[in-house]
């Protein structure tokens, strides 16, 4: 099999950023082809796969491995990543059509103004080359494209120029109990804006509370990248899947993309402009692999910056038993949070955080309800009394998770490993450490969780020892004005390559505390006019 | 590290992750994300080879009602559970409990207390065997040489322990149904 693909724009990666950009470009008459390493997802089959798994709460539980496009696994941090230490990097992603949004939570918080000016405001980290005000109109557009349900006021520290497209997803009964407890210690629980339908919209149903946003929304009420892949396809965008991109060559006159099919056959795609949208591990990996005559050190890597500043939101996980039934395991996995801890002068010394209130009981730290029931039975608490005990405990499970802000660290990086995957392509080698700034934030999160649990009157309080991965892979192709300290400019163009763009969370210079997907979407949409303009050059 | 972590040896995880038994691939199931719960009884995963006799299986159900604490069991899974536990290498197979305890002919204990006070329950491995029986009914999963295996997802009795909710992947109801208090 041999394919020859020609387009105005080649997009590598069919996740949310690539699909949004491809759709918008196609709407403007641009001929686009999207190359995706992984397969397509059939939603019903994916739910089936999850149910057959014994580890059903894992983000990847619904998605079988494919040998030609391996991806990291939660329980085996060295399955795909080559971990170089000093810590294992714990967050994972998907390689398939629709991307990692298949198993995102759906939280669509905006970054706050100070998140863009961390260094000039607090003297730490780095500023973005753009300000909040410049991105705000694109946040509005992203909220409409994704379909966000939210409360317009308060604005959660991110001023709004337009209302949310849909009314909020109702807060859970459990959230209401947390709200009462939080008030006792001066904290406020607020509704979380979410990329899921509170009313039928855009051909998708309203959320019916499957409590399964991770790993997959069974009914498609939660947005995922496949929504815009389908829109792009209807507009004539060519989706090429599976197509494992091996290298790219970018010159001012055009781009050549070499890709493999799972059978090993080599193929080529050519275009005027290239958009790399393969998330924050695969994008830098591909750029480092692409050592052509036009970029002998790797694409955009003249200053050895590609792959550096890898970040996550190190997460403090805590769980306990409420004194009264709060009826968890219903609704979206999270409908509320505490957002008032995301900014302040303390950021000079430690990472900020937001607290996510879980509707998923103890699933994350302990396992799903059948798994918990099995453990209880094995402890000897069986029979009618045991079953009653199980019921009374499940009804009182509460869980908090705080997503903490790290500082960018150039030694946290993605490189090419000597080890190769089944296609003969080097696997990503990761160096990673949480860092003192984030560790201080994690300690503060534990302290705050403890106060919240005590205000609730909770017992059996547990704080996980050490940070969890949030599944937020960020950094690695940082955005900036200076080519000697960044990979892409404020328009997301690779420095010195006017026809090559990077989309996705890899361009984040710093990460604040907002779950990254909405900002990914806003940045992708903002880049579209410049991508289109590159075709005229 | 918390007591729970110590007891299960969990390690660093990512969001949504927990350390369960190793994953395995299983037979196909019928499902729908937003389907009626009335279909659940037909959701039997994989083909089941019945090694135990019908009498044994009937006795196993009687034993199971006591240890699982649930009167109305999804009996279609009984043979799969019994056969899997019989092959699991327990010190004392539930089949022996069934036969020694008089469950096969219906003459055995009628309550969990009676079972736990019976002479045969003091035999080595009897208590662990009874707990394993409760475990498979509650979880819908059985132990195998290659790790745990799912027999049924929707018929796991754990779901019945949360009458305020549905098994995850199933619709709870109208948007916002989760805002109201549940019932126990």
**pLDDT beyond 50 at B48:** no
User: Does residue B130 belong to any structural domain of this protein?
Assistant: yes
Among A52, A368, A467, beta carbon nearest to B26? A52
**pLDDT beyond 70 at B6:** no
pLDDT given at position B5: 29
Write out the two tokens for A225: 């990248």
pLDDT given at position B31: 28
Cβ(A450)–Cβ(A463) below 8 Å: yes
pLDDT given at position B15: 53
Higher pLDDT, B17 or A250: A250
Task: Round to whole Å and give the CA distance between A63 and A49.
Answer: 7
Chain B residues whose beta carbon lies within 8 Å of the beta carbon of residue A359: 178
Write out the two tokens for A115: 């998140």
Total domain count, chain B: 1
> Do the Cβ atoms of A382 and B21 come within 8 Å?
no
Task: Round to whole Å and give the CA distance between B82 and B103.
Answer: 13
Tell which A residues from 126 to 145 touch B, by Cβ distance under 8 Å. none
Q: Which residues pair with A317 in a beta bridge?
A: A401
Instruction: Taking the CA atoms of A214, A215, A219 and A222 in sequence, report the sign of the dihedral they define.
Output: positive
* DSSP code per residue over A95-160: -STTGGGGG---B-PPPPGGGGBHHHHHSSS-B-SS-HHHHHHHHHHHHHHHT-B---SS-TTS--
Among B23, B67, B180, beta carbon nearest to A55? B23
Predicted confidence band of residue B51 (pLDDT cuts 50, 70, 90): low
Among A89, A189, A208, which would you mutate to test the B interface (most chain B Cβ atoms within 10 Å of its Cβ)?
A208
Among A42, A75, A380, which would you mutate to test the B interface (most chain B Cβ atoms within 10 Å of its Cβ)?
A75
User: Does residue B176 belong to any structural domain of this protein?
Assistant: no
User: Does residue B153 belong to any structural domain of this protein?
Assistant: yes
CA-based nearest distance A368→chain B, Å: 9
Write out the two tokens for A319: 């769980």
Cβ(A421)–Cβ(A82) below 8 Å: no
User: Does residue B79 belong to any structural domain of this protein?
Assistant: yes
pLDDT given at position A292: 87
User: Does residue B180 belong to any structural domain of this protein?
Assistant: no
> Do the Cβ atoms of B175 and A208 come within 8 Å?
yes
Task: Round to whole Å and give the CA distance between A494 and A300.
Answer: 6
Question: What is the CB neighbour count within 10 angstroms for residue A340?
Answer: 18
Chain A residues whose beta carbon lies within 8 Å of the beta carbon of residue B147: 54
**pLDDT beyond 90 at B38:** no
Tell me the per-residue pLDDT of B121-170, one tens digit each, with 9 for 90 and over.
Answer: 999 999 999 999 999 999 999 999 889 999 999 999 999 999 999 999 99
Predicted confidence band of residue B44 (pLDDT cuts 50, 70, 90): very low
Which residue in chain B is spatially nearest to A168 when comparing CA positions? B176
Which residue in chain A is spatially nearest to B136 when comparing CA positions? A374
Q: Where are the beta strands (DSSP E) in A277-369?
A: 315-321, 334-338, 353-358
Q: Is A188 exposed, middle or buried (0-12, 13-18, 19+ CB in 10 A)?
A: exposed
Task: Round to whole Å and give the CA distance between A74 and A69.
Answer: 16
User: Does residue B60 belong to any structural domain of this protein?
Assistant: yes
pLDDT given at position B45: 37
Question: What is the CB neighbour count within 10 angstroms for residue A153?
Answer: 7
Instruction: Taking the CA atoms of B167, B173, B176 and B179 in sequence, report the sign of the dihedral they define.
Output: negative
Chain A residues whose beta carbon lies within 8 Å of the beta carbon of residue B176: 169-170
Split chain A (537 residues) into runs of 10 and give each run's mean pLDDT: 83 98 98 98 97 93 97 96 96 98 98 98 98 98 98 95 98 98 98 98 98 98 98 98 98 96 97 98 98 94 98 98 98 98 98 98 96 97 98 98 98 98 98 98 98 98 96 98 98 98 98 98 98 92
Which residue in chain B is spatially nearest to A206 when comparing CA positions? B175
| Summary count for chain A: helices (H), strands (E) | 12, 16
A233: Cα within 13 Å, side-chain hemisphere: 13
Q: Please report, for residues B53, B58, B74, the alpha-carbon distance to residue B81 in angstroms, rounded to integers and kept in the order given.
A: 13, 12, 11
Q: Mean of the pLDDT values across residues B75-87?
A: 96
> Do the Cβ atoms of A370 and B135 come within 8 Å?
no
pLDDT given at position B35: 40
Catalytic residue IDs of A: 472
Task: Round to whole Å and give the CA distance between B139 and B26.
Answer: 15
> Do the Cβ atoms of B68 and A383 come within 8 Å?
yes
Chain A residues whose beta carbon lies within 8 Å of the beta carbon of residue B132: 377-378
Which residue in chain B is spatially nearest to A334 when comparing CA positions? B178
Question: What is the CB neighbour count within 10 angstroms for residue A433?
Answer: 15
> Do the Cβ atoms of B16 and A57 come within 8 Å?
yes
**pLDDT beyond 60 at B26:** no
User: Does residue B4 belong to any structural domain of this protein?
Assistant: no
CA-based nearest distance A196→chain B, Å: 11
Nearest to A68 by CA among A97, A95, A107, A29: A95
Write out the two tokens for A353: 């955080």
Q: Mean of the pLDDT values across residues B24-40?
A: 32
Does residue A368 belong to the interface with chain B, where contact is any CB pair within 8 Å?
Answer: yes
How does DSSP classify residue A308? Answer: B
CB pairs < 8 Å spanning A and B: 285
pLDDT given at position A399: 98
> Do the Cβ atoms of A212 and B15 come within 8 Å?
no
Cβ(A219)–Cβ(A205) below 8 Å: yes
A46: Cα within 13 Å, side-chain hemisphere: 24
3-state secondary structure of A38: coil
Which H helix or E strand runs over A401? strand A397-404
Among A52, A207, A375, beta carbon nearest to B29? A52
Whether pTM > 0.95 for this model: the answer is: no
Task: Round to whole Å and give the CA distance between A281 and A13.
Answer: 12
pLDDT given at position B41: 33
pLDDT given at position B184: 87
Write out the two tokens for A83: 């971990």
Task: Round to whole Å and give the CA distance between A135 and A81.
Answer: 33
Task: Round to whole Å and give the CA distance between A433 and A439.
Answer: 10
For residue B59, the enclosing domain spans: 49-171
* DSSP code per residue over A143-205: HHHHT-B---SS-TTS--SS--SBPPPPPPHHHHHHHHHHHHTT---EEPPBSB-SS-BTTBP
Does residue A161 belong to the interface with chain B, where contact is any CB pair within 8 Å?
Answer: no
User: Does residue B27 belong to any structural domain of this protein?
Assistant: no
Which residue in chain A is spatially nearest to B126 when comparing CA positions? A380
CA-based nearest distance A182→chain B, Å: 18
> Do the Cβ atoms of A371 and B149 come within 8 Å?
no
Which H helix or E strand runs over A50? helix A43-52
CA-based nearest distance A43→chain B, Å: 9
- The domains of chain A, with CATH numbers, are 4-534 (3.50.50.60)
Q: Mean of the pLDDT values across residues B40-55?
A: 51
> Do the Cβ atoms of A173 and B20 come within 8 Å?
no
Which residue in chain A is spatially nearest to B171 when comparing CA positions? A210
């Amino acid at each position: 099999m041999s394919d020859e693909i020609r387009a105005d724009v080649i997009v590598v990666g069919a996740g949310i950023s690539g699909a949004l950009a491809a759709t918008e470009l196609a709407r403007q008459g641009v001929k686009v082809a999207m190359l995706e390493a992984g397969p397509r997802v059939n939603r019903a089959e994916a739910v089936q796969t999850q149910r057959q798994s014994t580890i059903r709460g894992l983000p990847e539980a619904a998605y079988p491995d494919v040998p030609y496009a391996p991806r990291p696994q939660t329980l085996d941090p060295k399955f795909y990543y080559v971990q170089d230490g000093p810590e294992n990097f714990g967050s994972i992603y998907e390689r398939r059509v629709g991307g990692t949004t298949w198993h995102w939570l759906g939280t669509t918080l905006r970054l706050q103004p100070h998140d863009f000016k961390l260094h000039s405001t607090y003297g730490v980290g780095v500023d973005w080359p753009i300000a909040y005000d410049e991105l705000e109109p694109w946040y509005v557009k992203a909220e409409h494209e994704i379909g966000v349900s939210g409360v317009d006021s308060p604005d959660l520290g991110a001023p709004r120029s337009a209302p949310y497209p849909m009314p909020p997803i109702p807060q859970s009964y459990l959230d209401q109990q947390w709200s009462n407890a939080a008030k006792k210690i001066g904290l406020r629980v607020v509704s979380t804006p979410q990329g899921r339908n509170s009313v039928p919209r855009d051909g998708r149903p309203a959320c019916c509370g499957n409590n399964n946003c991770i790993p997959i929304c069974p009914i498609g009420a939660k947005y995922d990248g496949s929504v815009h892949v389908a829109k792009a396809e209807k507009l004539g965008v060519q989706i090429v899947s599976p197509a494992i991109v091996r290298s790219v060559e970018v010159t001012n006159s055009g781009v050549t993309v070499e890709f493999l099919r799972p059978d090993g056959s080599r193929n080529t795609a050519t275009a005027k402009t290239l958009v790399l949208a393969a998330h924050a591990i695969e994008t830098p990996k591909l750029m480092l692999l692409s050592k052509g005559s036009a970029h002998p050190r790797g694409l955009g890597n003249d200053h050895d910056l590609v792959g550096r500043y890898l970040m996550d939101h190190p997460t403090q996980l805590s769980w306990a038993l409420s004194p009264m039934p709060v009826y968890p395991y219903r609704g979206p996995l999270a409908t509320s949070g505490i957002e008032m801890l995301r900014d302040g002068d303390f950021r000079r010394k430690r990472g900020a955080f937001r607290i996510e209130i879980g509707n998923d009981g103890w699933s994350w730290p302990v396992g799903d309800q059948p798994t918990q029931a099995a453990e209880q039975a094995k402890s000897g608490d069986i029979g009618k009394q045991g079953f009653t005990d199980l019921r009374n405990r499940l009804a009182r499970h509460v869980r908090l998770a705080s997503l903490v802000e790290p500082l960018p660290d150039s030694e946290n990086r993605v490189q090419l490993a000597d080890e190769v995957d089944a296609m003969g392509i080097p696997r990503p080698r990761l160096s990673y450490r949480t860092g003192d700034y984030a560790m201080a934030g994690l300690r503060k999160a534990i302290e705050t969780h403890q106060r919240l649990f005590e205000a609730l009157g909770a017992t059996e309080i547990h704080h996980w020892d050490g940070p969890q991965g949030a599944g937020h892979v960020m950094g690695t192709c940082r955005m900036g004005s200076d080519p000697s300290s960044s990979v892409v400019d404020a328009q997301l163009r690779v420095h010195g390559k006017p026809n090559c763009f990077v989309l996705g969370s890899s361009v984040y210079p710093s990460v604040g505390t907002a779950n990254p997907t909405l900002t990914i979407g806003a940045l992708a949409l903002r880049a579209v006019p410049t991508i289109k303009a590159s075709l005229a050059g | 590290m918390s007591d729970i972590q110590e007891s299960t040896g969990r390690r660093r995880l990512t969001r949504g992750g927990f350390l369960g038994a190793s994953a395995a691939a299983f037979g196909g199931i019928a499902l729908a994300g937003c389907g009626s719960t009335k279909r659940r009884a037909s959701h039997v995963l994989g083909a089941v080879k019945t090694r135990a006799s019908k009498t044994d299986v009937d006795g196993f159900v009687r034993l199971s009602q006591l240890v699982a604490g649930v009167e109305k069991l999804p009996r279609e899974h009984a043979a799969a559970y019994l056969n899997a536990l019989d092959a699991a290498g327990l010190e004392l197979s539930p089949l022996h409990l069934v036969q020694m305890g008089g469950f096969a002919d219906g003459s055995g204990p009628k309550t969990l207390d009676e079972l736990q006070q019976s002479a045969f329950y003091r035999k080595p491995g009897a208590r662990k065997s009874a707990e394993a029986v409760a475990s498979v009914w509650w979880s819908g999963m059985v132990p195998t040489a290659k790790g745990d295996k799912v027999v049924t997802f929707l018929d796991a009795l754990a779901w019945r322990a949360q009458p305020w909710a549905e098994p995850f992947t199933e619709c709870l109801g109208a948007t916002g149904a989760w805002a109201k208090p549940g019932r126990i």
